[in-house]
Structure 1
């Protein structure tokens, strides 16, 4: 079985040359998501590192398992991966059925919602994504423990702490 450093290297190689919406090397995003999941153990850190690998690279679930990625990690990654023809709202519903996948998606959402990142997007795209991510949080957060969400948000996007307090008010 691969270790977290092995998975980090796999993710770095898989996302080599890719950039995110603001032009930053994509590996920075998956590492930020993984950092938010550190309090929950290695399996979730690995899932955070790999959360976009099935949808954005040549890797398949079978290839990940063959490479030594733990099957539970691959299952989480599959759960958070976009499926062609599946609306985003349905994807979020599928994710909330798996508590571990929910935590990965909360970390992903938190990083994608960072104000410093959003500020670099054109206004129209920034507003569209803000609504999308807020709606996703409205579905994701009730499916996780407040303490778990708090742990992730404190690491990944402290700006969401106010919203978290209002949500659980």
Structure 2
């Protein structure tokens, strides 16, 4: 929804640009494993789901805020993030005590969450990024991301996987053939 459309409270929903700014503030000072400002990762994930609408782009921009920042789901809602977006962000957030595969199986039950996680996986799997990691990390993460694709990709239509992967990491398209 555009800013100005109201939910039950008086807080208007945020625009996509405002959600991007919120994500940038939330991840300020954070860097990924290769030293790039973390906000660049969430923006790449959001670009991968752009064909699926603004709500999914918002969820992608926020996909790591509950895990990696002090923000809570309640604060996102109070800030004007639509409930459906917050629900997707919660679904892709790994909860303490939950192993990675269990989280992926839960994600795979929800179309929107699966698309966000596919875009996240595709960006994390980029060869140009992996090349900057130590060899041991590169091998461990490559196996983790391959195993995740085995859970995530069958959960949505192949055309959806092709759309997301084609935007974020076209090198992975060979795995679909």
Q: Same fold (TM over 0.5)?
A: yes
Count of aligned residue pairs for this structure pair: 165
1:45: which partner in 2?
57
Note the residue ranges of structure 2 that are not aligned, 5 or more in a row.
Answer: 1-12
> Pairwise CA RMSD of aligned residues?
0.4
- Where in structure 1 do 4 or more consecutive aligned residues deviate above 6 Å? none
Q: Which residue of 1 aligns with 2:17?
A: 5
- 1:97 CA displacement: 0.8
1:30 matches 2:48:
no
Structure 1, gaps ≥5 residues long: none
The counterpart of 1:104, out of the listed 84, 91, 116, is: 116
What's the counterpart of residue 92 of structure 1?
104
- State the 1:18 CA deviation: 0.2
Bigger Rg, which one: 2
Deviation of 1:17 after TM superposition, in Å, equals 0.5
Does 1:64 find its partner at 2:76? yes
Please give the alpha-carbon distance, in whole angstroms, between the structure 2 residues aligned to 1:5 and 1:148: 25
Alignment-derived partner of residue 5 in structure 2: none
Distance apart, 1:164 and its partner CA: 1.6
Distance (whole Å) between structure 2 residues aligned to residue 19 and residue 163 of structure 1: 29
- The structure carrying a bigger helix percent of its residues is 1
Please give the alpha-carbon distance, in whole angstroms, between the structure 1 residues aligned to 2:53 and 2:139.
34
